[in-house]
Amino acid sequence: MPVDTVEKLLVEELKDLYSAENQITKALPKMAKNANAAELRTALETHLHQTEGQIKRLDRVFGILGKSATGKTCEGMKGLLEEGDRVMKESEGDVRDAAMISAAQKVEHYEMAGYGSARAWAQQLGQAEIADLLQQTLNEEGETDHKLSQLAGKINKSAHRHAA
Ligand code: FE
Ligand code: FE
């Protein structure tokens, strides 16, 4: 069946995000375990808890729409997480932290693009409650991205020092 309405497009995007979030909950504990800097570990663990809340928010959105959340694999997130996993294995120490921050920021940006589009479509459809729920998650992803940028400022310096 073709995706020929904005409502169908919204449901498809939400399914993609639902799959992405579930993949992220599996990847984050491994990343946190591999983090060298305590601050990075804490940030990743904090975002794991946020991500679990984001999945609950998506459950509410699917409830409002009367649709099922499952049945789709987010291939984009699968690729991003595979790349992150590879770079994590190939690097070490502070440099690995720097690499993990970059991988995590790619994940956040992917999510922000998805949630931003979904929120706009929900707004267009007059689904104010859904738009509000998606905005809450969008804010959390943005804050996480910002936090990671701050951490990169410190960790990149130290990675560079150790390499010298
Ligand atoms: Fe998320
Ligand atoms: Fe996120």
What's the mean pLDDT in 29-45? 97
Give the tens place of pLDDT for each residue, 77-130.
Answer: 999 999 999 999 999 999 999 999 999 999 999 999 999 999 999 999 999 999
C-alpha distance from residue 117 to each of 13, 14, 56, 63 (Å):
8, 10, 19, 20
Hey, what amino acid is at 153?
A: G
Pick the CATH number of 6-163 from 1.20.1050.10, 3.40.50.620, 1.20.1260.10, 1.10.3210.10: 1.20.1260.10
Q: Sketch the domain layout of the chain as residue ranges.
A: 6-163
Q: What is the pTM of this model?
A: 0.95
What's the mean pLDDT in 31-59? 97
Crossing angle, helix 38-65 and helix 6-34, to 10 degrees? Answer: 160
Residue 142 burial (C-beta neighbours within 10 Å; 0-12, 13-18, 19+): middle
| Ligand (nearest to CA of 114) | 1
Rounded to the nearest angstrom, the distance between the alpha carbon of 39 and the centre of ligand 1 is 19
Hey, what amino acid is at 9?
A: L
Rounded to the nearest angstrom, the distance between the alpha carbon of 80 and the centre of ligand 2 is 13
Rounded to the nearest angstrom, the distance between the alpha carbon of 164 and the centre of ligand 2 is 33
- pLDDT-derived band of residue 158, with 50, 70 and 90 as boundaries? confident
pLDDT value of position 163: 59
| Ligand (nearest to CA of 21) | 1
Rounded to the nearest angstrom, the distance between the alpha carbon of 56 and the centre of ligand 1 is 11
Rounded to the nearest angstrom, the distance between the alpha carbon of 20 and the centre of ligand 1 is 8
